[in-house]
Amino acid sequence: MAKQLTIAIASGKGGTGKTTIATNLAKVIAEDGKGVYYADCDVEEPNGHIFLKPQIEQSRTVTVPVPQVDENKCTDCGKCGEVCQYGAIVHLGNKKVLTFDNLCHSCAGCWMLCPAGAITQKKMEIGIIESGNSGDIHFAHGKLRIGNIRSVSLINQLKQSIKARDLVILDVPPGTSCPVVESLKNVDFVILVTEPTPFGLNDLKLAVDLVRKMEITFAVVINRDGIGDDKCEKYCQQENISILMKLPDDRRIAEAYSVGKMVVDALPEYRKDFTGLYENILQEAEK
């Protein structure tokens, strides 16, 4: 392969089988002898490790800077509170300045602007990044601290820690919010996983809008094909979106999932579906 390809597996809502697609795809490509890096960007609820069962070799704490105020130095100018867009620092007068670490976005505005040098940076832990190997697959995921809101920063750090391989697979958090946008930055190709139901179609449309806005090449995978109607397929036809794979609604797949087994291990007959998906991705990505 000429260059590294980064593929993101995303979906407009949770529970569509995104992780099933991402982990099994990683596995068949690795077995094909390619260097694969799987990174789980769903830092609020990572679950790729349940299926890939990686050997974790490294773990590091991720911190972000938040303000620390030396109230003795404060000259009551009020600038810190005015600049903060997040209500994370407030000046109450009489040298009283309150900070709220859980609201801070580390924009640096307050400590850059404080004319008295009363504000310095301290570190706040937002989560950890663990990495290791699952067979031939290089594995990494982020785990956000409970109650922390800084998933975007953690995803950013996680992506920076990825080492070059032939192929990088990003398991993207569900939805279309900021953490999704962060996960999709700089990827080459997106797979949107959906279920063929009215709800699935609704969320698929939202996801399509997002990737179109971000100008990323994408295609669709339909999971649990057969449970709903053909509206998703019709929509894709109308919009000229390729459907790269349809994974049938097979009770045995759900069973494998529920006990943390990979589909391609539990049901080898599906292996060709995933190798086919990989070939389709390569073709589409070159378009």
For another protein, the binding residues (CB under 8 A) are 81, 84-88, 90-93, 96, 98, 100, 102-103
**# chain residues binding ligand SF4, by CB under 6 A:** 27
Choose the contact partner of 124 out of another protein, ligand SF4, none; CB within 5 to 8 A by kind.
none
Q: Which is nearer to another protein, 147 or 268 (CB)?
A: 147
Which letter, b or e, does each residue of 207-229 get, where b requires 16 or more Cβ atoms within 10 Å of its Cβ? bbebbeeeebebbbbbbbbeebe
Q: Which is nearer to another protein, 80 or 208 (CB)?
A: 80
109 binds ligand SF4 (CB under 6 A): yes
126 binds ligand SF4 (CB under 6 A): no
106 binds ligand SF4 (CB under 6 A): yes
Choose the stretch contacting ligand SF4; rule: CB under 6 A; options: 32-40, 68-76, 125-133, 209-217: 68-76
The secondary element (H helix, E strand) that includes residue 55 is strand 55-69
63 binds ligand SF4 (CB under 6 A): no
Which letter, b or e, does each residue of 245-268 get, where b requires 16 or more Cβ atoms within 10 Å of its Cβ? bbbeebeebeebbeeebbbbeebe
Neighbours of 205 (CB within 10 A): 15
Among 74, 137, 155, 170, binds ligand SF4 (CB under 6 A): 74
Minimum CB distance to another protein, residue 91 (Å): 8
The secondary element (H helix, E strand) that includes residue 106 is none
Task: Tell me whether residue 42 is exposed, middle or buried, using C-beta atoms within 10 angstroms of its C-beta: 0 to 12, 13 to 18, 19 or more.
Answer: buried
Among 22, 36, 104, 281, binds ligand SF4 (CB under 6 A): 104
Q: Is 11 helix (H, G, I), strand (E, B) or coil?
A: coil
88 binds ligand SF4 (CB under 6 A): yes
* Structure tokens belonging to residue 211: 């990737």
Choose the contact partner of 83 out of ligand SF4, another protein, none; CB within 5 to 8 A by kind.
ligand SF4
Among 56, 68, 90, 105, binds ligand SF4 (CB under 6 A): 105
Contact call for residues 187 and 216 (beta carbons, < 8 A) = yes
* Structure tokens belonging to residue 13: 């809502």
Among 31, 44, 79, 136, binds ligand SF4 (CB under 6 A): 79
Minimum CB distance to another protein, residue 66 (Å): 13
Task: Note the Cα 117 to chain centre separation in Å.
Answer: 37
152 binds ligand SF4 (CB under 6 A): no
Cα separations in angstroms, 114 against 81, 93, 100, 169: 10, 15, 17, 43
Q: Which residues bind ligand SF4 (CB under 6 A)?
A: 67, 69, 74-80, 83-84, 86, 88-89, 91, 97, 104-110, 114, 116, 118-119
